[in-house]
Structure 1
Amino acid sequence: MSALIYKQRFFHPNHPKTALSNYVHIGYIATRPGTVRHENMSHGLFGKQRPGELQAFDSWQEVARIARQISQQGKNMYRSVISFRKETALELGLTDFTDWQHYIEQHITTLAAHNRIKTENLCWAAAFHYELDHPHLHVVFWDKAQTIMKNFTHPEVPNLIRKQLIKDTFAYKIKEFCAQRDQFKSGVIEVTDSIVEEFEAYLKRLDPKAFQTFQLRFEQEDEDSLLRFPKHHLVEPASVKLLAEKLFVLRRHMPKTGRLAYKLIPPETKALLDALVQDLLQDNRYLAQMVEDYVQAKLNLAMLYDSDPEHLDKHRAKYQAESEKRIVNRILSTIRTIIKLEKEAAFDIRQANRQYAMAEQLLLDLLNLMEGLFTRAQLDYDDKTKVLGGDLSKQAKKEWLLRHKDQGMER
């Protein structure tokens, strides 16, 4: 177990989904629940795209677009995480957003050097996530001058980075440790890897249970996943239980026979279903935010063609209804599954734990669904903006708009 956890990886630039994955990852670290955000901004992304002052980016999308572009150019975008136990972070003076910004600004060159990136060619962005038991930084970085694509990083590289970060971060603690062990020979000691290992073993012995909890929590929650990141912390048990109750009340109102489709169910059942959708949006703020982000991305796309306020209000209502219809269809899919399971004699769907599991899975699926819809809408907008804002002539832009107008409004 370590006093500090460092994880690093990258997706191979040749993989067809790497550009999209890197785009989504930026959005994830910049906006997910627990992210400490800039004042009056919807994200917490900061970093440097060139040597100089630390920058709070105007939007996470500007960095995501760069990440997408460098992936398409065959450059590697590294994803890394630096994490401490809460008590350790407090002891180090990492108490607020500014402290964590200063910390990574001081240590980013360690990440670059071990990945053989020159300081003048280093580009990076980071976000601070305030988790109660393991506050941590997500850092993405790349070499803007890279010409040779990499397909492998030796596991020793992140291990060396971790050890160097420990040497630099805990220098005073290591000196105290060495003094206790009668190894303190002068005012300055050479901190070797063996001393770092002894120091880590010493800390583990001080509080083995706390360190084990820290390690398990961080390793079990894959902070680097995409469109699959753990969302259980976004789902309150009380709201899941309530959803399960409403879900099975709704099931009892479903027709006994016939196809289970929204347009075919009785009006009173439609009313219950519509009310359930609104309850979900009211109870789960993250789902509501994903719906709002999706609607806004589609609205931005519509504004490329028509900026009339009256028309935009109609478009907003249309996209809101579209997203709610997606939620309705997913609920109906769950109810179909319930009906199917009820017919299986060996499966007692009436058990409370099974009902809870069905409701929880429904919520997690809805979060994944809306994240995916938002991402595709945002990428669609980015692509069209790039074309319309490029070097096309006025006539070419007009022809492009006419050719794609219907397609753009239907997506």
Structure 2
Amino acid sequence: MPPFFMKARFYLPGGDNSYKNIAHIVYIGTRPGVDRGDADIGDRYFEKFKIDSPAGHVKYAAERPRSHGLFGADEKPLDIKQVMEELKQHDGIVWRFVLSLREDTAKRMGYIDRKSWEDALRASVSEAAGAMGIPESNLRWVAAYHAEAGHPHVHLVIWEKEAQRRRGVLSDGERKDVRKAFIKSFYAAERSRLGVEKTALRDMIRDVARGEMDRAHDLVVRIKSARQEVRAMEGGTTGVAPRLSDSDREDLARRVENLAKIMPGKGRVALKYMPEEVKAEAREIADWLLAKPGFAASSGRYKEIAREMAGHYTSQDQRLNQAEENAYNDLRDRVAQLVLKTAAQVQKRGPDKAGRDYSFSLAGNLWRNVWHAIEKARSREEARGEMEKRAQDEKRMRRREKEKEQER
């Protein structure tokens, strides 16, 4: 089995397929750990229990309160009966995916519990659906994690809110892009770790090759130490985002809607290309987010790290303050870019037609995306700071050693 495995099937509307889709939802949601990764297993469950109406599935699920393991785009718990009813009424295609990792790969990368898989899917499903031509605004999905020995996996079910796509089969290009979207999310931390470790080792080997071959043992020690810090560069799991209150959700949705109204209707959605008025508004929203409880501590620490790293080279308050300000501006603009992308989604539908539920949903997604971005940036800067501190300590140690040799 390859380190990452993806299987995809589709079910056209009509016939028994709506009931089979409902049966599949019930099965993956209420029987965690039993499924072996077969995307057809829901159909056999349908045949086994001879359920000829959605009412039978509703009764089965209702008799097992809180027993299902379904999750979706939002962290809010799902009502399995509502999902089943929605699929019953759905008149479009339903896609089923099985995404699996080898157990050794899952352990190495930290995918050992439901939350880690939830985070990976929430970071990738919208991009994968986009590769299928399904925009996030028209996307619905649910999934369930099965901690199967040897190959932990998730069952993912995707459909459109309003049926538009008429072709169920994925082209070779679409399948490749969908797979790439999932791999990019699952392996993001691993790629970051390997890339930074490669750079760190290259730089240290280069330094030693410049005439310090007698410090080979020290190089080994430094490499081991660097590897420990490089692992921190991936940040691990960013945890659950701070709770978004109803008032903040409403405020954030309103701010994003107002931004959408003044954004250009065409062109690249990038902060640096936006008119000054749009830049200012996006940055104001970013400032508002970064000042929120839960976010403020991480953004504050990000600035502190920049100041500490600058302190390795200067003690002038003006330069230290400037380093801190530059770090904050960099982080704020990263957040502002996320804000712009969310506003672009509102604009695409039309700010006045987006609707309260749609805007609120986007506000929740933006809140979580900002949290993940801040936490990853902070953890990376902390690791960089530790590596820089060690490098400065070693320079001072070498300087003292040379001074002692000269005194002799």
The verdict on a shared fold, with TM-score over 0.5 as the criterion, is: no
TM-score, normalised relative to structure 2: 0.39
TM-score, normalised relative to structure 1: 0.38
